[in-house]
Amino acid sequence: MCGIIGYIGPNDATPYLLEGLRRMEYRGYDSAGVALYNGTGLEIRRAAGKIAKLDAVLTAEPITGSPGIGHTRWATHGPPVERNAHPHMSGDGTVAVVHNGIIENSTVLRAALEGLGYVFKSDTDTEVLAHLIEELFEGRLEDAVVDALRRVEGTYGIAVISSKDPGKIVAARKGSPLLIGIGEGANFLASDASAILTHTRQVVYLNDGDVAVIEKDRYRVIDIDAQPQRRSVSRIEWDLSEIERGGYDHFMLKEIFEQPRSIENTMRGRLILEDGTAKLGGINLSHEQLMKIDNIVITACGTSWHSALIGELFLEELARIPTEVEYASEFRYRNPIVNERTLCIVISQSGETADTLAAMREAKRRGARTLGLVNVVGSTIAREDDGGVYLHAGPEIGVASTKAFTSQVIALALFTLKLARKRDLSVVRGREIAQALDALPALIEAALKGAPEVERIAEEFKDATNFLYLGRGYNFPAALEGALKLKEISYIHAEGYPAAEMKHGPIALIDEQMPVVFVAPHDSVFDKIVSNIQEVKARGGKTIVITSRDEPSLAGLMDHEIRIPETLDMLMPIVASVPLQLLAYYIAVKRGANVDQPRNLAKSVTVE
């Protein structure tokens, strides 16, 4: 969602803030701003639009000093215009605040502050914090922040500076990630490790409820009752090159092409080929606990929800455990059947998605054990789950998830293999699956070779206004994911459907204008899907068929064919994802869309 950066040290903060904001621009990019202490007072610069706009404002009207805080915004309250951009200043200009999250009682607080004579300049919920901290200030910034937060309901990651107590940045988190970066003679604050990686690898992840007081040569963490807290220092293990484009036009394309390696990394050291199983060090589930699981609930959002659907099929087919997939956003508002014999698998690339985190907490509250499948190391879900499987896909910067999706499916396959081999699955079948997983990176490599053909197809369909994506069995979730990819980056309306379900409604949409993408590899339901392709052809629809063999039954049915290599049925959606991702990518590029930063979206959705 939004990004927060802070710097305190001997140098001018502005370059650090701008660099950090640029690296976090993928998280929120409708407006940005910085505030810093110039030796006598606070100054701010803000701009609507991308960081480049803020850079231009700072070039025209430079400010210098330290400490400084910065923010890149994804609008919740009020449109993305300069007056709503963060930082927000208090009435007398002595306090500046940046904030991720939502202050739920801002209306009440605003009315009370207006009653005290404060004049609001923005439509945001954040501005109440600035005024409230000014109102409560009695000498130490951290005391005023703590006092203010006691009156606040909602979620936040905040950074605050004050000209009345200028030697520090005070930060606090509840539901929105923040970390302290420990430098030499300087310290940093960020919502995302990528923002500070060029300066330090030593970080302290803040927990919900933490308040941090960051000075240039020390920091301390307290809780909302001002009690000191001990937090350990972690080391960021990935490299800067992983968050740079490396010669590709977009992060999304780079991440699509990284998949042979990213899935290899998800599997590294985990597959045991001879035993047909997997070794997963972090799941924290004993043999007895694995044997006691009665049912599994998988909860996630968006793309991660699509991988969950594939996981459900794995778990039921191979481990024979009743499994349900729940949208995280719905899960906690109903009365799910979850108890201490339930395993709740939580899937999240970012590990910060507010709905998913809340669903996981609800599952825990009901006594379930939780297992997080998370990409971002040190993220909140990864720290709060009972056990986990890190995806190790490397940082995913493109807003549209690609390599994290395929790694999620791999992680689900590994976990299923482990669980199934303990319960119902023969070693022979286990070995077959393990070997197929092992061979997968090469197949993804081969599927990527089809990129030029996919690009040609994209050229033909770039002006379409609607798309249907159809698949059956394991490839129905792949179809859903293909449709999501297309709509989020190209803004073309697209729907995914189980292919046979089409005749119960969506078939009415088929005409000569309607491209229909079939995910139809040669698997156990291939003959069935051929009939569905015929139904579309008979109505003049344009078919783009992703398939894996020369099949006489497809003759005359494919306006376009995309050939992918074959593997086990259960792993086909991973291979099929490659052309689906590429098709969305090339169509979006040809339409002139900003694929890495699609409108209205943000990489990590930390509001409900």
**Residues touching ligand F6R, count (CB under 6 A):** 15
**68 versus 372: smaller Cβ distance to ligand F6R:** 372
Active-site annotation holds for 344: no
- Regarding 348 and contact with ligand F6R (CB under 6 A), the answer is yes
Q: How far apart are CA 283 and CA 287, in angstroms?
A: 11
- Regarding 299 and contact with ligand F6R (CB under 6 A), the answer is no
- Regarding 304 and contact with ligand F6R (CB under 6 A), the answer is yes
- Regarding 480 and contact with ligand F6R (CB under 6 A), the answer is no
- Regarding 604 and contact with ligand F6R (CB under 6 A), the answer is yes
**9 versus 372: smaller Cβ distance to ligand F6R:** 372
- Regarding 350 and contact with ligand F6R (CB under 6 A), the answer is yes
Among 488, 495, 523, 596, contact with ligand F6R (rule: CB under 6 A): 488
Of 2, 344, 418, 542, which residue is the catalytic one? 2
- H/E element holding 3? strand 3-8
Neighbouring-strand partners of residue 46:
33
Least distance CB 348 / ligand F6R (angstroms): 3
- Regarding 349 and contact with ligand F6R (CB under 6 A), the answer is yes
Token pair 């923010």 is found at 71
> CA nearest 4: which of 48, 77, 70, 80?
70
Rg of the chain's alpha carbons, rounded to an integer?
25
Q: Is the peptide bond before 80 cis (omega within 30 degrees of 0)?
A: no
- Regarding 605 and contact with ligand F6R (CB under 6 A), the answer is yes
- Regarding 547 and contact with ligand F6R (CB under 6 A), the answer is no
**194 versus 304: smaller Cβ distance to ligand F6R:** 304
Task: List Cα–Cα distances, 435 to 245, 276, 412, 415, 440, in angstroms.
Answer: 32, 8, 16, 15, 9
Active-site annotation holds for 254: no
**348 versus 532: smaller Cβ distance to ligand F6R:** 348
- H/E element holding 370? strand 369-374
- Regarding 379 and contact with ligand F6R (CB under 6 A), the answer is no
| Chain centroid, CA 115 distance in Å | 40
Which residue type does 105 have?
N
Among 162, 194, 401, 407, contact with ligand F6R (rule: CB under 6 A): 401
Q: What token pair was written down for 86?
A: 């963060």
**219 versus 305: smaller Cβ distance to ligand F6R:** 305
- What is the pattern of x (binds ligand F6R, CB under 6 A) and - over residues 57-86? ------------------------------
- H/E element holding 489? helix 475-490
Among 126, 176, 353, 547, contact with ligand F6R (rule: CB under 6 A): 353
Stretch that binds ligand F6R, among 66-74, 219-227, 268-276, 297-305 (CB under 6 A): 297-305
Q: Is the peptide bond before 15 cis (omega within 30 degrees of 0)?
A: no
- Regarding 395 and contact with ligand F6R (CB under 6 A), the answer is no
> CA nearest 277: which of 176, 428, 496, 154?
428
**266 versus 348: smaller Cβ distance to ligand F6R:** 348
- Regarding 162 and contact with ligand F6R (CB under 6 A), the answer is no
Least distance CB 350 / ligand F6R (angstroms): 3
- With H, G, I as helix, E, B as strand and everything else as coil, classify residue 45: strand
- Regarding 302 and contact with ligand F6R (CB under 6 A), the answer is yes
Least distance CB 372 / ligand F6R (angstroms): 10
Instruction: Give exposure, 507-537, as e/b (b: 16+ Cβ within 10 Å).
Output: beebeeebbbbbbbbebebbeebbebbebbb
Least distance CB 1 / ligand F6R (angstroms): 10
Strand-by-strand arrangement of the 3-8 sheet: 42-48, 31-37, 68-73, 3-8, 187-190, 179-182, 202-205, 234-235
Q: How far apart are CA 252 and CA 485, in angstroms?
A: 11
Among 122, 259, 303, 475, contact with ligand F6R (rule: CB under 6 A): 303
Least distance CB 134 / ligand F6R (angstroms): 35
Cβ proximity of 569 and 526 under 8 Å? no
Positions that interact with ligand F6R (CB under 6 A): 301-304, 348-350, 353, 356, 400-401, 484, 488, 604-605
Report, as residue numbers or ranges, the catalytic residues. Answer: 2, 603
